[in-house]
């Protein structure tokens, strides 16, 4: 897949066809070509297509010293990104693994379309894929097979039990309701070597029976624990829920004249994805004017008109509840002007924000329940709602008592 993506990138750059030399596999790799099930845009090279790229001895010497733009055979010089890559020109025969996303970064969307699946999966596979996107599903990939060979393992290394134990622990800390879906070419071995205390289902061999079904289901999981394998790397890259959905920043308030008037304690105190996820059920710690988000996120998620003057808090809750990630750049990137007539100033002057937060969370939870969804994060919001109600009621009683005292 890396080889195709790199070749496709250059073919698009120069607007020329891409051909794949499937006869170049070594005998031990026979039958490994498996891109036909994907919507790739490439032909299969015949012997006559390859013949012009079989250089004589003197050409081999010339290709080693000539600039890359003059070579007809481009041999990958090392396993990391080669910045000279984009100076190569067709006609060109590429030899290597090309295992860097930087080779196809500029045509990412095209590669995603090319790696769509041609085949129609069974109803059971499709139903499982839909369910995987509805909760904190974690794809956990174990590569065995050739990695059980001591020589191969010594060269590539192996992700051992401690790796999966630590990765599962981190996932459970981030998403307490995480459910792990196991993908492997050795289900029997994996059953006896999974991290303890995780909720899991082994899909390989039980539901899915081909590498395409595994890749499809892995890419539909919300989170990934990959092996040191390009196969699970691609599953993570193809995942539709990858990366951070919303990024915010630190904010400093200024007045009408541009003078700094202070900052917001919660804004500075909570900035990592984990801190924000832990605190948002109780308090809003994200300032909406400093937010940037993926376009697809704001197309899907809109402000709720029922949450007037607290729409942003409701939006953050809905995003986190659906498994999105919010984090901050821990720097002051926004000077936020607050004038006396602004909504922000009016809100800051309100003495009982807790009842407003209570009503926001009440409406949020009612919406979740109406959809039949209720996770651990939502339970935390319910606890925060109860806390807001207690504090807000106490402040309301105190205000009433102060008013009565003043009138008397």
Sign of CA dihedral 353, 359, 360, 362: positive
Long-range residue pairs from 65-72, CB within 8 A, at least 24 positions apart, any chain: none
Quick one: average pLDDT of 261-267? Answer: 89
Q: Which residue has the higher pLDDT, 132 or 399?
A: 132
pLDDT per residue as tens digits for the range 45-104: 998 998 888 777 767 776 677 778 888 888 888 888 898 999 999 999 999 989 998 899
pLDDT band at 156 (very low <50, low <70, confident <90, very high): low
Give the DSSP letter string of 192-212.
TSSPTT--EEE-BTTTB-SHH
**Average pLDDT for 315-330:** 89
| Confidence band of 351 (pLDDT split at 50, 70, 90) | low
Kindly tell me if the per-residue pLDDT of 25 is higher than 90. no
- Supply 404's token pair: 């009565």
- Determine which helix (DSSP H) or strand (DSSP E) holds 21, and give its type and residue range: none
Query: CA–CA distance from 110 to each of 8, 9, 33, 93 (Å)?
Result: 9, 9, 21, 22
Choose between 336 and 44: higher pLDDT. 44
The pLDDT of residue 160 is above 90: no
Question: Of 103-112, 338-347, 397-406, which range is least confident?
Answer: 338-347
Q: What is the pLDDT of residue 284?
A: 94
Q: What is the band of 141 on the pLDDT scale with cuts at 50, 70, 90? A: very high
- The span from the CA of 136 to the CA of 154, in Å, is 34
Dist CA 378 CA 320 (whole Å): 9
Highest mean pLDDT among 235-244, 342-351, 371-380: 371-380
Q: Is the peptide bond before 334 cis (omega within 30 degrees of 0)?
A: no
What local confidence, expressed as pLDDT, does residue 381 receive? 96
Specify which residues 44 forms β-bridges with: 20
Percent above pLDDT 90 for the chain: 40
Q: Where are the domains of the chain?
A: 2-114, 123-238, 246-406
Question: Given this model, what pLDDT does residue 18 score?
Answer: 96
State the pLDDT at residue 157: 67
Q: What was the pLDDT predicted at 296?
A: 74
Give the per-residue pLDDT at 80: 86
* 8 Å CB contact between 264 and 287: yes
CA distance 319 to 288: 14
Q: What is the mean pLDDT of residues 347-351?
A: 53
Per-residue pLDDT tens for 191-222? 888 999 999 999 998 899 988 999 999 999 98
Which of 58-72, 89-103, 176-190, 376-390 has the lowest average pLDDT? Answer: 58-72
Please write the tens of the pLDDT for every residue from 279-304: 999 999 998 888 888 777 888 898 99
Residue with the two structure tokens 């920043």:
249
- Fold for domain 123-238? Rossmann fold (3.40.50)
Residue 250 to residue 272: CA distance in whole angstroms: 12
CA distance linking residue 122 with residue 209, whole number of Å? 11
User: Strand pairing partners for 204?
Assistant: 208
d(CA 235, CA 217) in angstroms, rounded, equals: 9
**How high is the mean pLDDT of the chain?**
85
- Helix axis angle for 311-321 and 353-370, nearest 10°, is 40
Which of 153-184 are b and which e, b meaning 16 or more Cβ less than 10 Å from the residue's Cβ?
eeeeeebeeeebeebbeebbebbeebbbbbbb
Specify the residue for token string 């996107």. 133
Closest to 22 in 3D by CA, of 35, 9, 11: 35
> Comparing C-alpha atoms, which of 332, 329, 336 is closest to residue 261?
336
Which of the four pLDDT bands, split at 50, 70 and 90, describes residue 388? very high
**Which of 101, 274, 318, 190 minimizes the C-alpha distance to 181?**
190
CA 41 to chain centre: 26
CA pair distance 106, 89, nearest whole angstrom: 17
Does the pLDDT of residue 119 top 80, yes or no?
no
pLDDT for the residue numbered 342: 54
pLDDT digits (tens, 9 = 90+) for 234-245: 988 888 665 667
Q: Would the pLDDT of 2 be above 90?
A: yes
């Amino acid at each position: 897949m890396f080889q195709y993506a790199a070749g496709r990138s250059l073919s698009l750059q120069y607007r020329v066809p891409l051909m794949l030399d499937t006869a170049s596999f070594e005998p031990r790799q026979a039958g490994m070509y498996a891109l036909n099930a994907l919507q790739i845009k490439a032909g299969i090279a015949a012997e006559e297509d390859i013949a012009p790229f079989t250089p004589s001895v003197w050409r081999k010497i010339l290709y080693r010293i000539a600039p890359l733009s003059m070579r007809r055979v481009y041999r990958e010089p090392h396993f990391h990104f080669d910045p000279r890559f984009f100076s190569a020109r067709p006609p060109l025969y590429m030899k290597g693994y090309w295992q860097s996303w930087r080779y196809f970064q500029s045509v990412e969307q095209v590669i995603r379309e090319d790696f769509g699946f041609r085949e129609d999966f069974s109803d059971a596979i499709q139903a499982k894929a839909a369910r995987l996107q509805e909760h904190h599903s974690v794809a956990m990939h174990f590569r065995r097979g050739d990695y059980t060979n001591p020589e191969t393992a010594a060269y590539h290394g192996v992700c051992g039990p401690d790796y999966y134990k630590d990765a599962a622990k981190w996932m459970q800390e981030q998403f307490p309701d995480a459910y792990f879906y196991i993908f492997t070419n050795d289900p029997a071995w994996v059953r006896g070597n999974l991290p303890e205390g995780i909720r899991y289902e082994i899909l390989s061999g039980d539901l899915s029976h081909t590498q395409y079904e595994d890749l499809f289901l892995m890419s539909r999981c919300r989170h990934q624990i990959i092996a040191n394998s390009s196969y699970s790397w691609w599953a993570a890259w193809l995942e539709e829920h990858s990366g951070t959905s919303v990024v915010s920043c630190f904010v400093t308030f200024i007045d009408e004249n541009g003078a700094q008037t202070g900052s917001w304690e919660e804004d500075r105190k909570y900035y990592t994805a984990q801190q924000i996820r832990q605190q948002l059920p109780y308090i809003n710690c994200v300032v909406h004017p400093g937010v940037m988000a993926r376009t697809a996120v704001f197309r899907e998620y809109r402000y709720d008109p029922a949450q007037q003057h607290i729409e942003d808090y409701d939006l953050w809750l809905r995003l986190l509840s659906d498994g999105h990630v919010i984090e901050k750049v821990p720097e002051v990137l926004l000077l936020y002007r607050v004038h006396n007539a602004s909504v922000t100033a009016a809100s800051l002057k309100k003495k009982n924000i807790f009842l407003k937060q209570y009503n926001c969370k009440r409406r949020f939870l009612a919406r979740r329940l109406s959809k039949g969804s209720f996770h651990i994060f939502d339970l935390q919001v319910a606890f925060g709602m109860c806390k807001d109600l207690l504090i807000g009621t106490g402040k309301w009683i105190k205000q009433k008592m102060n008013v009565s005292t003043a009138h008397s």
